[in-house]
Structure 1
Amino acid sequence: MKKAFLKIWKCRGLRIMIIIILSVAWIWTVFAIIPPAKAMADNPFIVDKGKGPMIAAHRGGKKLNPENTFLAFDDAINRFHIEMLELDLVLTKDNRLVVIHNLSINAVSDVELVTGSNAEYLVGDHSLSELRLFNYGYAFKDKNNNRPYENLVAPLQADRREVIAANRLQIATIDEVFDAYYNLDLLFSVEIKNGGETGKKACDVLNSILNDTKRYPGTDLVNRVVVGTFHDEIEAYLKTTYPKLLRGGSVGEVTKFVLTQMLGVNLLDNSNFVCLQIPTSRKAFNINIKLDKKTYINRAHRRNISVQYWTINDEATMRHLIELGVDVIMTDDPELLYHVLKDMGYRD
């Protein structure tokens, strides 16, 4: 055996090949074992071990109440003690950031009934005052498929603005949301929906609000809001212009995180996002890649990155993610998640 090895070792080509293989193996081991730097020292979006995940009301909990309204926010906070609101932000014509999922209001309001037109009513083409003419509970269907707010107010009713506001169903601005809840221990996940120059302006407005210490004195509001976007140019703008704002991982960053984990090369991932916000699976090249794995969660936690899954509305998946030790579950149904957590001993 020894003679055979010496014979092989004397062969210069084989000797070089062995050295290369051993060197690659050593480098690979270093990449796999040594963890990259932590994303942040103290991440408020990570739960203590054994505590159970936070409830994030997706759009305020749109299965229970009209989405992105104060009616939904208040109910989710007061009845189900959510720890986090997930919201979408769109910029108005007069540079106000309103809480709405789409760039138009047609899908959630009575705008077509009031205007007599099915033309797309874009948020960016109208002022906040104009947008507040409409009932944002109009299209909501409850779990029994009823529309309880459809006939709340008539199209030409003189006091429709007042009636809508009294029922907490007018369009909300993000600064109004912060005004209402900033003194609670509530976290926020916000997504900039606009792209291009409008999206950059939306970032400017958001940053100005978050850093308004006169409006929000004695709080760490800026450290309780994570900002995300699906627009590459807005992601780049956030990174370079407002590096101190907390960010959720972009599509590219999440892809890199998953790939480096699959390949076992930790050092090649140097992303600086603080929240990994992902679905339980994703299709790539017609292959279904499961993302609800303990390895991803452990890897993220080693970097102090919060692991958050969206949008989870069934009990079985909720229980599975709770058992995995995730930090946040985003759901349209905070009532269901609250009762699941209670049943598993994580809520009183």
Structure 2
Amino acid sequence: MTSGRWLPYGTAQRPQIMAHRGASKAERENTLMAFAVARTMGSHAVELDVRRCGSGELVVHHNPVLDDGSPLTAHSLKDLPSHIPTLDAALDACAGMWVNVEIKNDPSEPDFDASESITRDTIELLRRRGAPDQWLVSSFRRETIDETARLWPELPTAYLVVDVDDPASLAKDLVSSGHQALHPYVKTLTRETVETMHRHGLAVNTWTCDDPARMVELIELEIDGICTNVPDVALKIAAN
């Protein structure tokens, strides 16, 4: 049963195929070209990672450090490698798709922001750009999505997890906190987790699946979204 679960504005199609950091098998991840190719392939959505650079701007980059090992926060925007886009530029490149904005805010990393100012600034930017149904904000840090839901209740939010020990308790907690989706790791995802989340009205979007056989299994589980490095492959499988 699929009624009542979150879907992006203007669509009723499941599963939604999310290009993980763009079409990252075809192009360098989290780049404007990766996002453009994802759109050309027909992806429904893009997943991208948000951090703050040393001069304060929101940029799209997965790791807290650059390729040379230096912290992202040690570099101003003008000194960053040219392939790293601002969040604004990335969202421009994703026009025509909805965007899963993952806020990177890990206490173990050098750019950790306990004050959640990165969350507030991300929400302010998204508000400026349009309706909340264009976006889904996700994070591994529960406080980050809780703050997002508090600041903009209409903005869909999702909790990223590696393991789910007690699906029923987690589902009740997420619903009571105003969240719309769970994003579990594909290698630990179980039928019980999917069915439990669905019973509570939560969408389940899994990451990161590049295996065609597993994609078929996920579709049979009535998964809501598949985050993948090969959206072209996933789209073909979903169409069949």
Q: Decide: shared fold, TM above 0.5.
A: yes
> In the alignment, does 2:15 pair up with 1:53?
yes
Is the 8 Å Cα contact of residues 256 and 269 (structure 1) preserved in structure 2? Answer: no
Structure 2 contact 48–100 (Cα < 8 Å) conserved:
yes
Which amino acid in the other structure matches residue 121 of structure 1?
S
- C-alpha change, 1:173 and 1:268, in structure 2 (3 Å) is closer
- State whether structure 2 residue 167 is matched by structure 1 residue 258: yes
**1:28-79 deviations in Å (ceiling 9; x for gaps):** xxxxxxxxxxxxx77324974xx4411100011221110001111111111x
Q: Give the aligned partner of residue 65 of structure 1.
A: 27
In 2, Cα distance between equivalents of 1:55 and 1:121: 33
Q: What stretches of structure 2 of length at least 5 have no aligned partner?
A: 107-111
User: Is the partner of 1:276 in helix, strand or coil?
Assistant: strand
TM-score (norm 1): 0.59
Q: Cα distance 1:270–1:201, how it changes in 2: closer, same or farther (>3 A)?
A: closer
> As a proportion of its length, which structure holds more helix?
1
- Equivalent residues in 2 for 1:200-279, closer than 5 Å: 200-212=116-128, 216=129, 219-220=130-131, 222-249=132-159, 251=161, 255=164, 258-260=167-169, 270-279=176-185
Counterpart secondary structure, 2:159? coil
Q: Distance in 2 between matches of 1:241 and 1:93?
A: 25
Secondary structure at the aligned position of 2:176 is classed as coil
Counterpart of 1:179 in structure 2 is: 92
Which amino acid in the other structure matches residue 210 of structure 2? N
- The structure 2 residue matched to 1:320, chosen from 217, 223, 227, is 217
Tell me the distance in 2 between the aligned counterparts of 1:211 and 1:269.
Answer: 23
2:103–2:119 CA contact under 8 A, matched in 1:
yes
Greater gyration radius: 1
Q: In the alignment, which residue of structure 1 is the partner of 2:109?
A: none
Q: Which runs of 5+ in 1 are unaligned?
A: 1-40, 107-111, 113-119, 136-169, 283-290
TM-score (norm: length of structure 2): 0.82
The structure 1 residue matched to 2:43, chosen from 82, 88, 95, is 82
Which is worse superposed, 203-212 or 270-279?
A: 270-279
Specify the SS of the correspondent of 2:113.
helix
- Give secondary structure in 1 for the equivalent of 2:182: strand
1:292 aligns with 2:190: yes
Q: How many equivalent residue pairs? A: 232
Q: Does 1:341 align with 2:238?
A: yes
Q: 1:194 aligns with which of 96, 105, 123?
A: 105
Structure 1 residues 329 and 93: alpha-carbon distance in aligned structure 2, compared to 1, 3 A threshold? same
Computed over aligned residues only, the root mean square deviation of the Cα atoms, in angstroms, reads 3.1
Alignment-derived partner of residue 158 in structure 1: none
Q: Is the 8 A contact 1:192 1:199 kept in 2?
A: no
CA 1:70–1:311 in 2, change beyond 3 Å: closer, same or farther?
Answer: same
The letter of the residue matching 2:213 is A
Counterpart-to-counterpart distance in 2, 1:102 and 1:298: 33
Contact 2:49–2:61 (8 Å) recurs in 1: yes
Tell me the distance in 2 between the aligned counterparts of 1:269 and 1:178.
28
Q: Note if contact 2:161-2:183 (Cα within 8 Å) is conserved in structure 1.
A: no
Amino acid at match of 1:189: N
**Identity across aligned pairs (percent)?**
27
Contact 1:44 1:224 in 2 (8 A): no
